[in-house]
């Protein structure tokens, strides 16, 4: 009798984060995790659960409530030969440590003439949708993508969460992994073995012929819903998940636009000054002659994230807004 096929392992996004961090701690003897509530509590969302018991208090460390201190610890430890994973509980808290991020973590290798590497990985949680209000719900990836010296990735699926955390921790440069709080329960296939998602390589999630949708982070799932709805209007949308924002895979995006002749960029962050403007600029610089319409952009309104669930639902971009922008762009 033929042996039954092994069923693929499925994990939620939150457990895939744990799986990735565990793989790093097992692989790299100088790796450790440090941050607020990462040890005893397993983090505010539980994605370090079990690691304190497994690896001990010297490798899973609760820090004081000081984001500046956490980043300083990570930078110093990395410069001294360790490979730390530091946790900034919410992306909004980058404001508490931006000097250390912008003027130390991003620049120190250049200031030392390339004589030191800085293999520090930062995990942080972004995104709205949980009624956590204006100080715990922002998407600030444009801040950090503007800093030469940093790499920035945004895992969209459980598979990508594990693979990008491992890739970040193996990199000799500082890498910020921007996670999404509304994706934590999302299920997906995650292999038990260790693997990397290449930093700087986009993923064509869905093939299409006459519209390219470039969707960052959780918006990729909204883009897929929009692509289904757009079929009714005869639009065959290709959906691209960049996964890596810095470095950004311009070649994959522009190759798609040369094929489809139209593009829309979608992100959860505020539209004005968002990373989508950079993507749109790169498209028009490298594929202008192929465009049959201006590059569209979908993002949040220029406002702090509201606390009210009804207002927040109106604030966060979704599939319906992607469809509406497509119809406006194409005159449908």
Which of 88-103 are b and which e, b meaning 16 or more Cβ less than 10 Å from the residue's Cβ? bbbbbbbebbbebbbe
Residues 37-62 have a mean pLDDT of 97
| pLDDT tens track for 256-299 | 999 999 999 999 999 999 999 999 999 999 999 999 999 999 99
More confident residue, 332 or 140: 140
91, 66, 158, 171 alpha-carbon torsion, rounded to 10°: 100
Query: Can you give the residue range of the structural domain that contains 97?
Result: 10-189
Whether residue 230 sits in one domain with residue 136: no
Segment 89-106 mean pLDDT: 96
| For residues 197-214, average pLDDT | 97
- The answer to whether residue 196 sits within a structural domain is no
Report angle CA 194, 197, 199 to the nearest 5 degrees: 135
Distance CA 145, CA 151 (A): 7
Average model confidence (pLDDT) across the chain: 95
Looking at the domain assignment, is residue 195 inside a domain? no
* 54 pLDDT above the threshold of 80: yes
The answer on pLDDT for 138 being more than 70 is: yes
Name the domain count of the chain.
Answer: 2
Picking from 119, 49, 44, the residue whose alpha carbon sits closest to that of residue 87 is: 44
Instruction: Look at residue 2 in the predicted model and tell me its pLDDT.
Output: 47
Q: Do residues 219 and 320 share a domain?
A: yes
| pLDDT beyond 90 at 114 | no
Q: Residue 10's CB: how many other CB atoms inside 10 A? A: 12
The percent of residues in the chain predicted with pLDDT above 70, rounded, is 98
Q: What is the pLDDT of residues 69-83, one digit of tens each?
A: 999 999 999 999 999
User: Looking at the predicted structure, is the pLDDT value of residue 3 above 50?
Assistant: no
Q: In CATH, what number is assigned to the domain containing residue 167?
A: 3.40.50.970
Q: What pLDDT, on the 0 to 100 scale, is given for residue 5? A: 56
For residue 113, what pLDDT band results from cuts at 50, 70 and 90? confident
For range 214-222, the mean pLDDT: 97
pLDDT digits (tens, 9 = 90+) for 7-33: 789 999 999 999 999 999 999 999 999
Locus of tokens 């924002």: 245
pLDDT value at residue 6: 67
Name the pLDDT band for 1 (thresholds 50, 70, 90). Answer: very low
Query: Which of the residues are catalytic?
Result: 67, 136
If one compares 133 and 114, the residue with the highest pLDDT of the two is 133
Could you tell me if 280 and 299 are in contact, meaning their C-beta atoms sit under 8 angstroms apart?
Answer: no
Inside any domain, residue 2? no
Shared domain for 72 and 211, answered yes or no, is no
Q: What is the pTM of this model?
A: 0.95
Quick check: helix, strand or coil at residue 85?
A: strand
Q: Are residues 225 and 263 in the same domain?
A: yes
Q: Does 36 fall in a domain?
A: yes
Helix axes 275-287, 250-260, angle to 10 degrees: 60
Pair of tokens at residue 270: 């505020």
DSSP state letters, 240-256: EE--EEETT-HHHHHHH
Token code pair at residue 231: 């079929």
Closest CA to 267 of 239, 230, 299, 309: 299
Give the CATH number, domain containing residue 259: 3.40.50.920
Q: For the purposes of burial, counting CB atoms within 10 Å of the CB of 45, is it exposed (0-12), middle (13-18) or buried (19 or more)?
A: middle
């Amino acid at each position: 009798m033929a042996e039954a096929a092994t069923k693929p392992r499925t994990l939620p996004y939150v457990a895939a984060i744990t799986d990735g961090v565990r793989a790093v701690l097992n692989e790299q003897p100088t790796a450790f995790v440090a941050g607020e509530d990462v040890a005893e509590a397993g983090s505010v969302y539980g994605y370090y659960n079990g690691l304190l018991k497994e690896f001990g208090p010297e490798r899973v460390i609760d820090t004081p409530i000081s984001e500046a201190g956490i980043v300083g610890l990570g930078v110093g430890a990395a410069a001294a030969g360790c490979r730390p994973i530091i946790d900034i509980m919410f992306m909004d808290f980058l404001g508490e440590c931006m000097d250390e991020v912008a003027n130390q973590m991003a620049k120190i290798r250049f200031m030392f003439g390339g004589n030191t590497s800085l293999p520090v990985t930062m995990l942080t949680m972004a995104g709205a949708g949980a009624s956590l209000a204006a100080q715990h719900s922002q998407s600030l990836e444009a801040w950090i993508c503007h800093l030469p010296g940093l790499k920035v990735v945004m895992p969209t699926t459980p598979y990508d969460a594990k693979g990008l955390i491992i890739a970040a921790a193996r990199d000799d440069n500082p890498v910020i992994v921007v996670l999404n709080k509304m994706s934590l329960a999302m299920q997906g296939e995650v292999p038990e073995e260790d693997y990397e998602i290449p930093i700087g390589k986009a993923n064509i999630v869905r093939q299409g012929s006459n519209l390219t949708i470039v969707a960052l982070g959780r918006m990729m799932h909204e883009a897929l819903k929009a692509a289904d709805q757009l079929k009714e209007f005869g639009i065959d949308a290709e959906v691209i998940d960049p996964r890596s924002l810095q470095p950004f895979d311009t070649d994959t995006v522009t190759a798609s636009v040369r094929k489809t002749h139209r593009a829309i960029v979608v992100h959860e962050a505020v539209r004005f000054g968002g990373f989508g403007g950079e993507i749109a600029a790169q498209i028009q610089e490298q594929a202008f002659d192929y465009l049959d319409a201006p590059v569209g952009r979908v993002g949040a309104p220029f406002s702090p994230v509201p606390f009210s669930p009804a207002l927040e639902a109106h604030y966060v971009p979704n599939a319906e807004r992607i469809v509406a922008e497509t119809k406006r762009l194409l005159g449908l």
